[in-house]
Amino acid sequence: MATTKTTAKSTKSTAAKRTTAAKTTSSKSVTASKASTAKTTNSRGVVKAKSTAAEGLKELFIDSLKDIYWAEKALVKALPKMAKNASTPNLIDGLNNHTTETEEQIARLEQVFTIIGKKAVAKKCEAMDGLLKEGQDIMESTEPGAVRDAGIIAASQKIEHYEIATYGTLCAFAKTLGMDDVADILHTTLEEEKQADITLTEAAYNTINFDAADADDSEME
């Protein structure tokens, strides 16, 4: 009996130690998380700048160039995959044409880097990364045919709208900084992105969305 009691006490003691250790670890984790948040945000919710943060408009402009440079290089790899998964001929042609166009846009960005005397460096664009992942998810979530084509158009237009906003901002920055030659180069790409969006809209409203809707009606019959 004495041995049984001793074993029980030992087991309880071990369990208590494990519980205490778990609480300590959890407490440390919460403390570390709070400390990490405190480094980037103060008590009023104002985000603190990184040590590498841009101090002037030109630095912000260059940082944005690196961002869209990564985005275009990622997009030029994704567009052919979208084209392979599309079914409608005019959509496939549009995606393939935009692949060629995107390659030219990358070359223009490299030209801009040269003009401003900076090395062409890509910095991961979290926005484009998220949009491309969403596009991949849409393709995986739809059956091949009109419905998937409608999904590809939806994903592509989100990308185009992001690019239009980005190039519009870059053009404004360049003009403000007195870099009119750079602004002209970026404006060329901006107009191409606007036209690509129009092309996608026409493809959607002329045939694809209606074909996708017909597919829904057929399933309901």
Single out the residue of 203, 170, 207, 192 nearest to residue 63, CA to CA.
Answer: 170
Radius of gyration of the chain (CA): 27
| Tens digit of each residue's pLDDT (9 = 90 or more) over 1-25 | 544 444 445 545 555 555 555 555 5
Residue 135 falls inside a structural domain? yes
Which residue, among 104, 82, 83, has the nearest Cα to 193 in the 3D structure? 104
**Rounded CA separation 187/183 (Å):** 6
- Contact call for residues 141 and 151 (beta carbons, < 8 A): yes
Residue 156: closest CA among 80, 42, 214, 58 = 80
Does residue 201 lie within any of the structural domains? Answer: yes
Q: Which are the contacts of 113, defined by CB distance < 8 A and separation ≥ 6?
A: 65, 69, 119, 120, 121
The amino acid at 118: K
> Are 171 and 183 within 8 A, CB to CB?
yes
Whether residue 14 lies inside any domain: the answer is no
Decide if 25 is inside a domain.
Answer: no
DSSP-derived 3-state class of residue 47: strand
Please tell me the predicted confidence (pLDDT) of residue 55.
80
158 is in which domain, residue-wise?
57-214
Residue 169 belongs to a domain: yes
Question: Residues of the chain whose pLDDT is less than 70?
Answer: 1-43, 53-54, 206-221
Please return the burial class of 169, using the count of CB atoms within 10 Å of its CB with bins 0-12, 13-18 and 19+: middle
- CATH number of the structural domain spanning residue 191: 1.20.1260.10
Cα angle value 116/131/185 (rounded, 5°): 25
109: CB partners within 8 A, 6+ apart = 65, 68, 69, 72, 120
In a domain, 47, yes or no: no
Let me know if residue 22 belongs to a domain. no
DSSP code for 56: S
What was the pLDDT predicted at 107? 98
Overall domain count for the chain: 1
Residue with tokens 């390659």: 103
Is residue 139 in some structural domain? yes
Query: What 3-state class would DSSP assign to 88?
Result: coil
Three-state DSSP at 41 gives strand
Q: At what angle do helices 146-176 and 126-140 cross, to 10 degrees?
A: 170
Predicted structure pTM score? 0.75
